[in-house]
Every structure is written in structure tokens, then in C-alpha cells.
Amino acid sequence: MKLPNLVILDEKDKKLRSISKEVIFPLSKEDKKRIKDMIDYLTMSQIEEYSEKYNLRPGMGLAFVQTGIAKRIFVIVEELEDKQFRNYVVINPKIITHSEEMIYVGEGEGCLSVNREVEGIVPRYARITVEAYDENGNLYKIRVREDISVAFQHEIDHLNGILFVDKIDPKNPYKDKAKCREI
């Protein structure tokens, strides 16, 4: 595999704070190529030989806005087992239902745009149902849970100009921990 030429914006870049625009179909060739490049990048970042060769931080999700394009598109690459992946292409997503149960990632959330250690937890819904479009403009509904639910919520935040660090109280980074289940 060849590493795609993607520039991922750092948290200091003001573009990350913009609210992404709804996507109009059909997608352009450039958008389809960017989706493929993002999936390839995330896949390679999760395979040790590539992450070491190219010095990549492992990542599972990436929003278009993180590459400087404010469109409501993100991809998630979930490793199911060794080098077996499930890809999610999510365009114009809307959370239509969510659980009452809240969870957080025990070792903390990470982000390819945040290149530093961050103390604290981000409470997220344990389960969400999302309505979105695929790259061909087909509407679908998906129910996700646990780590994939966290990833979807993290990426939807990006589309709204929000970084996970914004959701951590600097005075009390573990606030509401008792109200959530660790994953």
C-alpha cells in the first residue's frame, strides 16, 4: 500500500472550528478520491508495519474538515480482527436516537488533530442511531454501540467545529465519571 498524500490539520488551525456544510449529491471525483485516501490512511495507521514505516499515529476516524474541507463527511475504519477492517462512510449524519446510558474511553479519547496527551474523560452515549448517506447518495440508518458509538459522536463533533478537548472541564477533567461506564 502507498501512503495517501493527506495533510491532517492541527488543533491550532482555525478551519477545525468551522461548521461543515451539507453535501449535495452526486459526489465529485475529488470527494470520492478523498474518501478512499482517508480510508487507506486510517487502515495503514492501524497496521503496525505501515504505522512504523510512515511514523503514523493509529487512528480510526477522520472527518473531511480535518483535511481542510468543511463538508459533512467522515470515515471510520474499524479493525475487526488482525488486518480485517469494516469501513463506514458517513455523509450528512444526524443522530436520531441515543441511549440514556453514558460511557467514556478509559484511556482517554485521542484525535489525529490533537498531537498531545490530554487528561480527562468525554462522556458519550453508549448507543446511538444515525441516519446518513453513503457515497452513492443512498440514505441509510445505522445503530452503533460502545467504541464505534464514541467514534461516530467524536466525528460528528468535528463536523460541528467541536474537538473532544472542548468537552473536558479543565478544572475537573474527570467530572461525571461516576455517572458513566468505562469502556
Q: What is the pLDDT of residues 41-62, one digit of tens each?
A: 999 999 999 999 999 999 999 9
Please check whether residue 4 lies inside any domain of the structure: no
Please give the tally of structural domains in the chain: 1
Please check whether residue 46 lies inside any domain of the structure: yes
Question: String of b and e for 41-62 (b: at least 16 CB within 10 Å)?
Answer: bbbbbbbeebeeeeebeebbbb
Distance CA 83, CA 3 (A): 16
3-state secondary structure of 24: coil
Query: Tell me: the pLDDT tens digits for 57-89?
Result: 999 999 999 999 999 999 999 999 888 999 999
> Whole-model pTM?
0.96
pLDDT at residue 83, as a whole number: 85
3-state secondary structure of 175: coil
Query: Tell me: the pLDDT tens digits for 114-168?
Result: 999 999 999 999 999 999 999 999 999 999 999 999 999 999 999 999 999 999 9
Length of the chain: 183
Burial class (CB in 10 A: 0-12, 13-18, 19+), 121: buried
Please check whether residue 161 lies inside any domain of the structure: yes
Please check whether residue 73 lies inside any domain of the structure: yes
Active site annotation includes 49: no
Instruction: Find the CATH number of the domain harbouring 88.
Output: 3.90.45.10
| Catalytic member of 30, 101, 155, 182 | 155
pLDDT-derived band of residue 1, with 50, 70 and 90 as boundaries?
Answer: confident
Q: Provide the domain limits for residue 136.
A: 14-182
Please check whether residue 1 lies inside any domain of the structure: no
Please check whether residue 7 lies inside any domain of the structure: no
Please check whether residue 77 lies inside any domain of the structure: yes
